[in-house]
Amino acid sequence: MGDDYIHHALLSANSPIVKPPDLSVFGLFSFINGDPERNRLLMDYSLIPWWTYAELKYAFWRPLSEMSHWLDHVLWPDSPWMMHLHNIAWYLLVLVLVSRLYRTTLSAPLAGVLALAVYALDSSHGFAVSWIANRNALIALSFALVSLLLYMRWRREQGRRWLFVSLIALVLSLLSAESAISVFGYMGAYALFLDKRGPLKGVLATLPHFAVIVAWWVIYKTSGFGAANADSYYVDPVNHPITFLGKLIERLPVLLASQWGFIPAELYGFSGQTIIGYVVGCLVVLLLLLIPVMRALSRTRTSMFWFCGMLFSILPVLTALPHDRLLFFTGIGASALVGNFFYHIYSLKHCNGAGLFNRYSRGTAHVLLAFHLVLAPLLLPLMAYSTKVWASLIPHQPSYFSGIKDIESKRIVLFSPPIASAMVIGPLRFYRGEVMPDRLWTITTLNDGLSFSKPDDSTLQIARAEGFLQGQAEEAFRNFQEQPLVEGESVTLSGLKIVMKDLNNEGKPTRLLLHFDRPLSDESLLFLKWDNEENRYQKLNINSAYEAD
């Protein structure tokens, strides 16, 4: 699905898209690296659309995760089920480590069992585990848990070897995914509430791990990694602290409400705009669930450790658009609280009095039980299967160009393919071992109201009264508020210059001039328009159909 095909293409020897000159191994997570020249090359093969902001960057340093995909490519390149099994193996390792963590911190074994059941059967993990390209989160979480367990052992036993190995595990986690930073939230919470030498010495003891994170961050940023000019999806808290603070206030209740309830955070993330009522509603639901839980558990330092660890660990992932796959670290603390709450309510017979708040606490326990041990296990396989559903929403038919001879010498100009399909035409063809055209330009993904004219022998004009670049998908590649288009602005590709004319009230062009470096009659140029009804391309005969214009 999606990035899986791009990874396959980048690992293929015949791909025209080579690894960027960075510290990555294959460039699987850094192929959009903010270099305008490289971005233009990606536009030449429709891997990103031509209206992408020239310096857009989604570049992440994940060499260990890259190696895991390379291993898939070497051992079973044509067996996706083995790649999924590879993901599941990492998830099982995560569960073993989480179980160990609960045994170490929760005094009652039954509370640990309940917490592990809540975490293991969390429906929000279904999509994240089943998406092959998301394996980086599982690898980072595995090494981070090893680091945390060894850190806690070091603080209990003072064996320096545990500190050394914990630091190594942290480095491996950071080299797997940026989400590894979240583990420091649990280390900080441990220092404040569970370190037997007190909070001051506990906080000082976190400095070696903090120094590793800072060193990694310096290398990460100076090497050009990170997201930039991509505020629709990622916000850099260092470069845009005010924007990040606003996103934090907006995203925190949405993600936590998803963790404690069962409504996917994606429903908010995909809306494309801030919905105040939704955020307030999530905050209210969250408070209604958390108040009785924390009232019942607040007497223990362990519960405060899990509560603060949950809050601290969620802060780094608030840089990204809300999505349930961001909840792996946060879910550890939340599941521990829920499991411990169940133990207190049902096993220790707490809150059995007749008071209103006691009844409210029991009612909350029943609701959480229904959410996490009844609905979540039922939804888990459905969420795991959802990657197949998402993949099915991306038609593969637009990646086929049947009947075209000498396709490797053709410069194909596409109109109206679905945007998701347009960006995976190249990767799908690589995956099937098919030849790529010399150039593949997707001009518009809109299908209605298009009119064509021919100002001169090498220029094609396309107009649409309602304007081009409509919809949230287009804004994933350019924030039109912060990076507005300008009348007459042009994008120069390899053999094509696109000029935007007649911007509407939304700042979107209603007319495009396509200036080619050769006559429209040149045999190398092929104009195709996707027909949704017939589910195939129709050839546009530009020269005969628009000569009069």
- Residues 43-60 pLDDT 10s: 998 888 999 988 999 999
- The per-residue pLDDT for 402 is 84
Does 88 lie in the same domain as 74? yes
Instruction: Using the structure block, give the residue that is written with the tokens 């995203």.
Output: 251
Rounded distance between C-alpha atoms, residue 189 and residue 199, angstroms: 9
- Residue 44: phi and psi, rounded to 5, are -65, -15
Higher pLDDT, 545 or 512: 512
Residue 109 has a pLDDT of 93
Residue 522's contacts (CB-CB under 8 Å, 6 or more residues apart) are 516
> Which of 109-113, 311-315, 466-470 has the weakest average pLDDT?
466-470
Residues 107 and 237 in one domain: yes
Domain identity same for 101 and 194: yes
Least confident span in 31-40, 75-84, 428-437: 428-437
Q: Are residues 492 and 375 in the same domain?
A: no
pLDDT in tens, 221-273: 999 999 888 777 788 888 788 888 988 998 999 999 999 987 788 887 666 56
C-alpha torsion sign, points 262, 267, 268, 269: positive
**Predicted pLDDT at 549:** 34
CA–CA dist 193, 301 (Å, integer): 6
What is the band of 71 on the pLDDT scale with cuts at 50, 70, 90? Answer: very high
Q: What are phi and psi of 525, to 5 degrees?
A: -90, 130
**β-pairing verdict for 525-531 and 411-415:** parallel
- Domain total for the chain? 2
349 pLDDT exceeds 90? no
Mean pLDDT of 66-82: 94
- Give pTM, 2 decimals: 0.91
379 and 417: one domain? Answer: no
Pair (405, 373) in one structural domain: no
Q: Is the pLDDT of residue 216 over 90?
A: yes
Task: Classify residue 455: in a domain, yes or no.
Answer: yes
Query: 385 and 406 share a domain?
Result: no
Q: How many Å apart are CA 307 and CA 284, to the nearest integer?
A: 18
**What confidence score (pLDDT) does residue 548 get?**
34
165-212 residue pLDDT tens: 999 999 999 999 999 999 999 999 999 999 999 999 999 999 999 999
* Residue 92 pLDDT > 60: yes
CB count, 10 Å around CB of 389? 12
Locus of tokens 């809540």 = 118
Tell me, what amino acid is at 27? G
- Cα(5)–Cα(549) distance, integer angstroms: 41
Average pLDDT, the chain: 89
Assess whether 509 and 534 both reside in one domain. Answer: yes
When pLDDT is averaged across residues 396-407 and rounded to a whole number, the result is 89
- Domain final position from 348, 375, 391: 391
What is the Cα–Cα distance from 249 to 251, expressed in whole angstroms? Answer: 6
Residue 290 belongs to a domain: yes
Q: Angle, to 10 degrees, between the axis of helix 328-342 and the axis of helix 276-297?
A: 50
**Contacts of range 159-163, beta carbons closer than 8 Å, 24 or more positions apart:** 163/208
Lowest pLDDT segment from 200-209, 289-298, 353-362, 509-518:
353-362
Instruction: Find out whether 436 and 16 touch, Cβ atoms under 8 Å.
Output: yes
Among 10-24, 85-99, 282-296, 445-459, the range scoring the smallest mean pLDDT is 10-24
Task: Look at residue 505 and tell me if it is in a domain.
Answer: yes
| Cα–Cα distance for residue pair 34/282, rounded to 1 Å | 35
pLDDT over 90 percentage in the chain: 56
Q: Which of 391, 417, 433 is the last residue of a domain?
A: 391
> Cα-atom radius of gyration of the chain, to the nearest Å?
26
Residue 259's contacts (CB-CB under 8 Å, 6 or more residues apart) are 124, 327, 330, 331, 334
Whether residue 303 is predicted with pLDDT greater than 50 in this model: the reply is: yes
367 pLDDT higher than 80 = yes
Identify which of 440, 474, 522, 486 has the alpha carbon closest to the alpha carbon of residue 41: 440
**Residue 487 resides in a domain:** yes
- Give the pLDDT band of residue 136 (cuts 50, 70, 90): very high
Supply the pLDDT for residue 220: 96
Q: Which of 327, 359, 391 is the last residue of a domain?
A: 391
The closest alpha carbon to 248, from 259, 258, 237, belongs to 237
Cα separation values, 324 from 35, 160, 193, 321, 380, Å = 30, 37, 28, 10, 12
512: β partners: 462, 500
Is the distance from CB of 324 to CB of 258 less than 8 angstroms?
A: yes
Q: Please give the pLDDT value at position 547.
A: 40
Predicted local distance difference test score (pLDDT) of residue 435:
87
- 421 neighbors 399 (Cβ within 8 angstroms): yes
Domain presence at residue 58:
no
Residues 32 and 180 in one domain: no
Same domain, 422 and 308: no
Residue with tokens 């792996």, as numbered in its chain: 328
Q: Which residues constitute the domain of residue 101?
A: 63-391
Q: Tell me whether residue 245 is in a domain.
A: yes
What's the CA gap between 402 and 526, in Å, rounded?
13
- Averaged over 436-462, what is the pLDDT? 90
Run of H or E residues at 292: helix 276-297
Examine the domain organization and report whether 162 and 261 are in the same domain.
Answer: yes
pLDDT of residue 490: 92
Domain assignment present for residue 416? The answer is yes
Give the C-alpha separation, 466 to 359, whole Å.
57
Rounded CA separation 273/268 (Å): 8
DSSP string, 147-167: HHHHHHHHHHH--HHHHHHHH
Q: Are 382 and 512 in the same domain?
A: no
Strand duo 509-516 + 226-228: pairing: unpaired
